[in-house]
A = this chain, B = another copy of it.
Amino acid sequence: MNFCSQCGGPVQLAIPAGDSLPRHVCQHCGSIHYLNPKLVVGCIAEWQDRILLCRRSIAPRYGRWTLPAGFMENGETTSQAAIRETLEEACARVDIRQLFSLVNVPHINQVHLFYRAQLLDPDFSAGLETLEAELFAEDSLPWKSLAFQSVTLSLQAYFSDRKAGHFGFHEETIQRDQRLASDLHQV
């Protein structure tokens, strides 16, 4: 951040009075610009014993498989974001069940939320950011070609809970090293 989005003046990092962290402060109008983590929200969408995955047609991780998910927008709720992303990425309509996982990814300032959801029908197709959409059973899931560690962790917890006969709520944190290690294994 170089300029103030309010007045166009130059910003500098400084710790405002009563604050403890450096912020981008406008040298002209005094506006303080805060940077905060973003929410990425999606679905573990079920159809019978299978789960809907999307193969990415965009960077990052072009060609890898992911759960339908994306950045939450202003003015919507977390479950509305999950429904919208599933429609956009897989042209699929879902009924939301319950929040299943929260995965912190602090090194990229993101929090990922995945809901359990039921596909309303098996009529889906690739959206604009998707090469192909497909239903996978646990034993045919492309574990080594998943796009994101948060997806891997959430799907592992999902199948583990399903075996146990009870779906809980799962919170995880992905550290930078874990991500790199996962990248190496998944290439």
Contact = CB atoms under 8 A, between A and B. Distances in A.
Interface string A11-31: 100000010110010000000
Contact of A78 (B4, B10, B21, B111): B111
Interface in A154-187: 169, 171, 173
Given A99-B102, A102-B99, A169-B99, A74 B37 contact: yes
Nearest to A173: B77
A3 interface: yes
Interface in A95-134: 98-99, 102, 104, 106-107, 109, 111, 128
Contact of A5 (B1, B34, B74, B107): B1
A47 interface: no
Contacts of A21: 73
Number of this chain's copies in the complex: 2
A72 B37 contact: yes
B128 A18 contact: yes
B2 A3 contact: no
Contact of A39 (B39, B79, B128): B39
Interface of A: 1-8, 10-11, 18, 20-21, 24, 33-39, 71-80, 88, 98-99, 102, 104, 106-107, 109, 111, 128, 169, 171, 173
Given A5-B33, A39-B39, A75-B109, 7 more contacts: A2-B7, A5-B5, A36-B71, A36-B73, A37-B76, A77-B106, A78-B171
